[in-house]
Amino acid sequence: MTLPSSPITQDEINNILWKACDTFRGTVDPSQYKDYILVMLFVKYISDVHQDHFDEFMLKYKGNQERVLRQLDKDKFKLPEGCSFEKLYAQRNESNLGEIINEALEAIEDANKEKLEGVFRNIDFNSEANLGRTKERNERLKNLLNDFNDKRLDLRPSRTSGRDVIGDAYEYLIGKFASGAGKKAGEFYTPPEVSELLAALVDPQPGERISDPACGSGSLLIKCAKHVGTDNYALYGQENNGSTWALAKMNMFLHDVTSARIEWGDTLNNPLLVENDKLMKFEVVVANPPFSLDKWGAEGAAKDKYKRFHRGVPPKGTGDFAFISHMIETTHKTNGRVAVVVPHGVLFRGGTEGNIRQKLIEENLLDAVVGLPANLFFGTGIPAVILVFKRQKADQRVLFIDASNDLASGTNQNYLREKDIEKIVTIYRARKGVKKYANLVDFNSIKENDFNLNIARYIDTFEAEPLVNIRPLNIEIKSVRRKLISIEAKMDKWLKELNLD
């Protein structure tokens, strides 16, 4: 491949990759073709990195291929012979192209078992159901390889303008796919500005362990990692959807986060982030779990071996408090922090949920309630709320913030601006009231409201109608009446004249 004259920029990469989606757009559902595009980006990236290192070592060892191959074997990714993007591209006209790509992915996975085991098991480039019959499938795959063979798309570290440019391109694509995936988008995507807000509220510090028990494609974990500002952190996640779990694994590697532990499984029924047969403990736990998840596993929750639901078992049709209970039980008791996105019903629903909510407040775990604008999330237009829980609070007060009107309107979704996020975070850290926006409420006031957390009970956002000066308005009304009487008199005169004719 001929190198471009200057490093490729983020916008150039994004545009090339989005154009590559034309191969599938209109014929394959975005929630499905995202996997093919993102996997091919991953293969292209590790191929270009491998080539970059090969060229570097060839110069360093003066063409001694034996030494070069030994050095390449120490790379974080091993690329088996015949599995590079270039080798796949060279076979783009083969009649069994889907099988060839599948075999290459299997070989890459086998060569990197510790990092990639299972990542490609849910993606089938030879799927007739997803990609069409043989002729159509081969044509689409050939077009996909042609798109990724764009001479400008050189993803070697020495040719990209920034450490996270590939990871950010991956995030860009996930965001674009979410906008076209409708309700399915919520399964794998949290809007970046919401992730940024969550990260800022829990404020992860160097050396801390960070977990997301419903991690989707891993974007929220990566926002938390960036917030730390150093490489001194540990990321942990669990995701129930297999293909989304694979996205999260690849997302970590493309952001150069090689130490993340991302498990595949049902967090509520089978938590896999355990050590010594106990739930792992984290300083920071964040999540945007599925809203009011039905059939989440309430039947077996009372016998949960980790006793996560000792405050009560949430209803089988709404799993919001099941996720909240799990998250709180996985925090360190000295400095644990939780930030979770939930629907507004969590604030006021009664029954078992009301009892759990009351116990959480009585235990002085709830730190803040942040109301968000409507239509921020893909797949639902309802407004959501962020609950922040904190161990070892300094007092028994809860900060309520009504940020429901702080937003910018987009074509399909609303979004939080940087100034909106900064405003919320500044007030949260200051823990002070702001008229019609924030209120620091004591325990007794919440108790008097029967532990109902509806934001409107604690923040008065009523705007009085401006006073109207009646005198000039009355003068204007009288003037209009006089004009009306004059017009009516003229009309009567004309009607009489018409009758005479």
Are 240 and 297 contained in the same domain?
A: yes
Q: What per-residue confidence (pLDDT) applies to 411?
A: 62
Are 316 and 202 contained in the same domain?
A: yes
199 found inside a domain? yes
pLDDT at 290 over 50: yes
483 found inside a domain? no
Predicted confidence band of residue 1 (pLDDT cuts 50, 70, 90): very low
pLDDT at 209 over 80: yes
Q: What per-residue confidence (pLDDT) applies to 476?
A: 83
Are 240 and 135 contained in the same domain?
A: no
Are 113 and 195 contained in the same domain?
A: no
Contact 35, 243 (CB under 8 A): yes
User: Who's near 165: CB < 8 A, 6+ residues apart?
Assistant: 8, 9, 10, 13
Region 386-410 average pLDDT? 91
pTM of the model: 0.85
Q: How far is CA 212 from CA 230, 253, 330, 357, 360, in A?
A: 19, 17, 10, 21, 20
Are 310 and 439 contained in the same domain?
A: yes
Region 38-47 average pLDDT? 92
Report d(CA 286, CA 294) in Å as an integer.
Answer: 21
Report the range of poorest mean pLDDT among 99-113, 353-367, 453-467: 453-467
When divided into structural domains, the chain yields a total of 2
Region 299-326 average pLDDT? 97
473 found inside a domain? no
224 found inside a domain? yes
Which of these, 89, 157, 80, 72, lies nearest to 116 by C-alpha position? 80
Contact 267, 211 (CB under 8 A): no
Report d(CA 444, CA 222) in Å as an integer.
Answer: 38
353 found inside a domain? yes
Query: Torsion-angle region of residue 69: left (phi > 0), alpha (psi -120 to 50) or beta?
Result: alpha
User: Which residues are 352's β-sheet partners?
Assistant: none
Helices (H), 125-241: 128-131, 134-148, 165-180, 192-202, 219-228
Mean pLDDT, all residues of the chain: 89
pLDDT at 2 over 70: no
30 found inside a domain? yes
User: Is residue 433 helix, strand or coil?
Assistant: coil
Q: How far is CA 94 from CA 43, 147, 310, 355, in A?
A: 19, 17, 59, 63
Are 336 and 223 contained in the same domain?
A: yes
122 found inside a domain? yes
Q: Which two three-digit tokens encode residue 157? A: 């570290």
Region 309-326 average pLDDT? 97
Report the range of poorest mean pLDDT among 32-46, 75-89, 170-184, 307-321: 170-184
Region 437-446 average pLDDT? 96
Are 44 and 84 contained in the same domain?
A: yes
pLDDT at 232 over 80: yes
Contact 254, 278 (CB under 8 A): no
474 found inside a domain? no
Share of residues in the chain with pLDDT > 70 (%): 92
Q: What per-residue confidence (pLDDT) applies to 443?
A: 97
Q: What is the CATH number of the domain that holds 236?
A: 3.40.50.150
Q: What per-residue confidence (pLDDT) applies to 155?
A: 85
Which residue, 162, 197, 214, sits at the end of a domain? 162
Q: What per-residue confidence (pLDDT) applies to 437?
A: 94
Are 221 and 110 contained in the same domain?
A: no
Which of these, 259, 210, 256, lies nearest to 237 by C-alpha position? 210
Are 148 and 192 contained in the same domain?
A: no
Q: What per-residue confidence (pLDDT) applies to 388?
A: 98
Largest CA distance in the chain: 118
Give the domain range for residue 49: 10-162
Q: What per-residue confidence (pLDDT) applies to 25?
A: 81
Region 235-254 average pLDDT? 92
